[in-house]
């Protein structure tokens, strides 16, 4: 089941400015630590090298006799300590005055001296209100809790607010800076919280936590960590999790708690007591709801959809269905990486292969210029074509090496035209390069001097892969293993295969060995004299071996003592085969002594 999260920052604009002011405030210059040292302390009751401690058990007791039989109280000890020079005074914990842990020295700054600027944390500043342009007049668009306690409210005229509290700190609102902060927060969320994060303007973000809650220790722990992160950054946060994005948005802004987690299937019960404004309705719809007496979402549920649509509008019905889960509300995620993309919007829809090829050519010309400006080459391209009926057609191609040669890419894209269903017509095209790599300039020195150069097979590989599929084109390369079926791997066709070992191996090696029946062989080291394979009997006239191969014990326990004895044999008709026996012919734990066919020589 889908789980959506809504992060609401109610005082985003206010706290962003306070955070900015706090970082812009001047910092006191660091001062060197200077300890007063008295070279002539006079009559010091505590020697520098040690001795008794004023915080000892006998010094903490009152009314006990001290030195010379005189009664000493705790106050006497404190006065004696205060009379000592600073370098000789014992720390506070040795005096027995407190039992809790000492405060960290870097958590609390030192008190400023005279003439230094006092830095006020951005969480405890003076009342602040922001003024923005709404229509043709200046209004209060944001106010901190302290300003609201003075009677300032959002939507009040700026002149009225200034007359009400003349010495209040009024500043112009900066919606662009707030939007940029939310965008950075969404980008941070993509990298840390969930791959699907979107901005929910003007004061929050939303994300899809489906399948990712266990990575954060559960939904409850994720909410606590997210709230702690916002608190450390200086922002007040309200978080809600529900089955739908509309429900999470409503609970985060109109719920009673700072963290609300709606159980799966409990959207209706969670939304019922919330006001109608939680459905993200327009002012006209909210005014109509107040006129007809709709106060909460529960008041809307028993009303038929037809009369409700006539009273509040179709937008209210759509928002209600999205919140209750009756209509899907996708989250358009914020993309982490800027993907190169070019677009074409056509005046008239097209549907022929020639017209589609012409659009492909124009898009590739623009994409080549874009990639060249960024110093990149495309490894994959995705063409998205939008039909006039709202449908979407997508085709993709891949290359063996990064390239931005339009002619080569156009040839690959033309192989995909038959997979595009134009329907009633295509009116918009988008070409994306989701996978790109750096592409530097090529060295043309050898070509200009007339030297022979190796031909690059990448273009041929791309064309063949486009026709029969990329999985059908590969090259065999050696792997570091003595087991024959593990000593070969499939690699990229343009990748260097490496050096092959000098072992004698058959031209055709079976992926899985095939069993042999009715084998006659002299144990333990002689090759077989007769065997049956695939229903046919073979008589061996010559043989060579054995070549003993031990199992790879680090892979699994069954191969610790496993042994294979391989033989190269030739039958009476000239056929040459590569067979092996499981086991060394002497110890039973090395194999079951069965025979297998593993390859055929030319």
Distance CA 203, CA 226 (A): 16
Q: CATH number of the domain at 426, please.
A: 3.30.1490.100
Angle at 145 between CA 140 and CA 149, to 5 degrees: 85
Distance CA 47, CA 26 (A): 44
Q: Coil, strand, or helix at residue 144?
A: coil
Report residue 270 as tokens. 């969670």
415 within domain boundaries: yes
**Nearest Cα to Cα of residue 432 among 373, 355, 357, 380:** 380
Residue 458: how many other CB atoms lie within 10 Å: 17
Q: What is the mean pLDDT of residues 262-286?
A: 92
Task: Measure CA 48 to chain center.
Answer: 59
Full strand arrangement of the beta sheet holding 4-8: 197-200, 204-208, 4-8, 238-242, 259-261
| Cα torsion through 348, 351, 355, 359, rounded to 10 | 70
Give the confidence band of 14 by pLDDT, cuts at 50, 70, 90: very high
Residue 339: how many other CB atoms lie within 10 Å: 12
With residue 386 as reference, give the H or E element that holds it: strand 376-387
- Beta-bridged to residue 349, according to DSSP, are none
The domain boundary residue, chosen from 423, 438, 453? 438
Number of domains in the chain: 3
364 within domain boundaries: yes
Going along 487-586, which residue ranges are E strands?
488-491, 508-515, 517-521, 528-533, 536-550, 563-571, 576-582
Classify residue 295 by its DSSP letter.
-
454 within domain boundaries: no
Pair (418, 518) in one structural domain: no
Residue 392 burial (C-beta neighbours within 10 Å; 0-12, 13-18, 19+): exposed
Residue 89: how many other CB atoms lie within 10 Å: 15
Pair (375, 246) in one structural domain: no
108 within domain boundaries: no
The domain boundary residue, chosen from 438, 466, 495? 438
Distance CA 110, CA 396 (A): 63
Q: What is the mean pLDDT of residues 483-489?
A: 83
Of all residues in the chain, what percent carry a pLDDT higher than 90?
A: 46
Residue 55: how many other CB atoms lie within 10 Å: 17
First to last CA, the chain: 58
Report residue 268 as tokens. 């209706």
Q: Which long-range contacts (CB under 8 A, 24 or more apart) does 581-584 make?
A: 581/521, 581/546, 584/524, 584/548
Pair (307, 345) in one structural domain: no
Distance CA 254, CA 273 (A): 10
- Beta-bridged to residue 157, according to DSSP, are 139
Classify residue 416 by its DSSP letter.
T
Kindly report, residue by residue over 70-95, the tens digit of the pLDDT: 566 777 877 888 888 776 776 654 44
Distance CA 320, CA 328 (A): 11
**Nearest Cα to Cα of residue 21 among 121, 89, 133:** 121
pTM of the model: 0.51
With residue 445 as reference, give the H or E element that holds it: helix 445-448
41, pLDDT greater than 80: no
Task: Measure CA 410 to chain center.
Answer: 34
Question: Which CA distances in Å does 276 have to 241, 257, 272?
Answer: 19, 18, 9
Distance CA 368, CA 390 (A): 29
Q: What is the pLDDT of residue 50?
A: 47
Q: Coil, strand, or helix at residue 71?
A: strand
8 within domain boundaries: no
The whole domain housing 571 covers 508-600
Distance CA 125, CA 110 (A): 20
215 within domain boundaries: yes
Q: What is the mean pLDDT of residues 330-337?
A: 79
With residue 121 as reference, give the H or E element that holds it: none
Kindly report, residue by residue over 355-380, the tens digit of the pLDDT: 999 999 999 999 999 998 888 899 89
Give the lowest-confidence range in 78-92, 206-220, 232-246, 278-292.
Answer: 78-92
Classify residue 275 by its DSSP letter.
B
With residue 396 as reference, give the H or E element that holds it: strand 392-403
Pair (403, 306) in one structural domain: no
Give the lowest-confidence range in 15-24, 192-201, 494-503.
Answer: 494-503
Distance CA 434, CA 397 (A): 11
Residue 507: how many other CB atoms lie within 10 Å: 10
370 within domain boundaries: yes
Question: Which CA distances in Å does 518 have to 233, 322, 335, 591?
Answer: 78, 72, 65, 18
122 within domain boundaries: no
The domain boundary residue, chosen from 420, 438, 456? 438
Q: What is the mean pLDDT of residues 501-520?
A: 87
Full strand arrangement of the beta sheet holding 392-403: 341-350, 426-438, 376-387, 392-403
Pair (309, 345) in one structural domain: no
Pair (309, 351) in one structural domain: no
Distance CA 205, CA 487 (A): 52
Kindly report, residue by residue over 410-425, the tens digit of the pLDDT: 999 999 999 999 988 9
Residue 219: how many other CB atoms lie within 10 Å: 19
Say which residue, 110 or 333, is predicted with more confidence.
Answer: 333
Pair (180, 318) in one structural domain: yes
Kindly report, residue by residue over 526-571, the tens digit of the pLDDT: 999 999 999 999 999 999 989 998 888 888 888 888 899 999 999 9
Q: What is the mean pLDDT of residues 564-584?
A: 92
Pair (273, 382) in one structural domain: no
**Nearest Cα to Cα of residue 527 among 590, 577, 591:** 577
Residue 530 burial (C-beta neighbours within 10 Å; 0-12, 13-18, 19+): middle
Pair (192, 284) in one structural domain: yes
Q: What is the pLDDT of residue 254?
A: 94
Pair (224, 271) in one structural domain: yes
Question: Which CA distances in Å does 97 have to 78, 101, 180?
Answer: 10, 12, 51
Distance CA 202, CA 580 (A): 73
Q: What is the mean pLDDT of residues 198-223?
A: 91
Pair (285, 391) in one structural domain: no
Q: What phi, psi does 242 have (nearest 5°)? A: -150, 180
Residues 324 and 267: beta-carbon distance below 8 Å: yes
Strands 128-134 vs 595-600: parallel, antiparallel or unpaired: unpaired
Question: Which CA distances in Å does 162 have to 18, 141, 156, 288?
Answer: 20, 14, 10, 32
Pair (295, 185) in one structural domain: yes
99, pLDDT greater than 60: no
Report residue 420 as tokens. 């595009």
């Amino acid at each position: 089941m889908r789980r959506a999260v809504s992060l609401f920052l109610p005082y985003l604009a206010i706290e962003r400015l306070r955070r900015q002011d706090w970082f812009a405030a001047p910092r006191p210059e660091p001062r060197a630590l200077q300890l007063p040292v008295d070279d002539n302390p006079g009559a010091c009751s505590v020697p520098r090298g040690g001795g008794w401690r004023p915080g000892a058990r006998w010094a903490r007791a009152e009314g006990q006799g001290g030195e010379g039989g005189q009664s000493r109280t705790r106050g006497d000890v404190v006065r004696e300590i205060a009379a000592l020079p600073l370098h000789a005074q014992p720390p506070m914990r040795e005096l027995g005055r407190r039992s809790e842990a000492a405060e960290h020295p870097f958590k609390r700054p030192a008190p400023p001296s005279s003439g230094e600027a006092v830095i006020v944390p951005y969480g405890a500043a003076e009342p602040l209100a922001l003024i923005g342009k709404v229509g043709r007049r200046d209004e209060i668009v944001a106010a901190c809790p302290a300003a609201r306690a003075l009677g300032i409210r959002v939507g009040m005229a700026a002149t009225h607010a200034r007359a009400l509290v003349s010495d209040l700190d009024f500043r112009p609102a900066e919606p662009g800076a707030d939007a940029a902060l939310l965008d950075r927060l969404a980008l941070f969320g993509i990298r840390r919280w969930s791959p699907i994060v979107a901005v929910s303007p003007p004061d929050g973000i939303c994300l899809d936590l489906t399948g990712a809650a266990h990575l954060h220790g559960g939904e409850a722990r994720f909410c606590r960590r997210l709230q702690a992160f916002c608190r450390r950054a200086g922002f007040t946060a309200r978080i809600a999790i529900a089955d739908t994005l509309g429900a999470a948005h409503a609970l985060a802004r109109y719920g009673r708690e700072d963290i609300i987690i709606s159980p799966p299937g409990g959207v209706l019960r969670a939304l019922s007591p919330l006001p109608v404004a939680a459905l993200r309705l327009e002012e006209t719809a909210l005014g109509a709801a107040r006129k007809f007496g709709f106060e909460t979402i529960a008041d809307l549920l028993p009303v038929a959809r037809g009369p409700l649509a006539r009273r509040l509008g179709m937008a209210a019905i759509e928002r209600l269905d999205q919140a209750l889960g009756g209509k899907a509300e996708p989250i358009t995620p914020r993309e982490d990486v800027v993907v190169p993309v070019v677009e074409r919007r056509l005046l008239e829809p097209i549907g022929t292969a020639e017209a589609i090829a012409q659009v492909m050519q124009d898009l590739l010309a623009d994409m080549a210029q874009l990639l060249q400006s960024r110093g990149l080459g495309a490894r994959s391209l995705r063409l998205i074509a939008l039909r006039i009926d709202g449908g979407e057609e997508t085709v993709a191609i891949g290359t063996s090496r990064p390239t931005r040669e339009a002619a080569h890419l156009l040839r690959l894209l033309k192989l995909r035209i038959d997979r595009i269903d134009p329907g009633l017509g295509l009116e918009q095209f988008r070409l994306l390069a989701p996978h790109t790599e750096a592409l530097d300039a090529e060295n043309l020195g050898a070509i200009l001097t007339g030297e022979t150069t190796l031909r690059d097979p990448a273009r041929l590989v791309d064309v063949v892969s486009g026709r029969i599929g990329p999985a059908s084109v590969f090259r065999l390369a050696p792997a570091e293993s003595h087991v024959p079926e593990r000593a070969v791997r499939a690699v990229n066709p343009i990748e260097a295969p490496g050096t092959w070992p000098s072992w004698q191996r058959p031209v055709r090696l079976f992926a899985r060995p095939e069993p042999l029946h009715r084998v006659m062989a002299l144990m333990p080291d002689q090759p077989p004299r007769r065997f049956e394979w695939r229903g046919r009997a073979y008589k061996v006239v010559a043989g060579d071996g054995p070549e003993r191969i031990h199992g790879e014990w680090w892979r699994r326990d069954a191969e610790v003592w496993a042994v294979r004895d391989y033989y190269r044999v030739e039958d009476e008709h000239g056929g040459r085969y590569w067979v092996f026996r499981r086991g060394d012919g002497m110890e039973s734990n090395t194999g079951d002594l069965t025979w297998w066919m593993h390859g055929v020589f030319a």
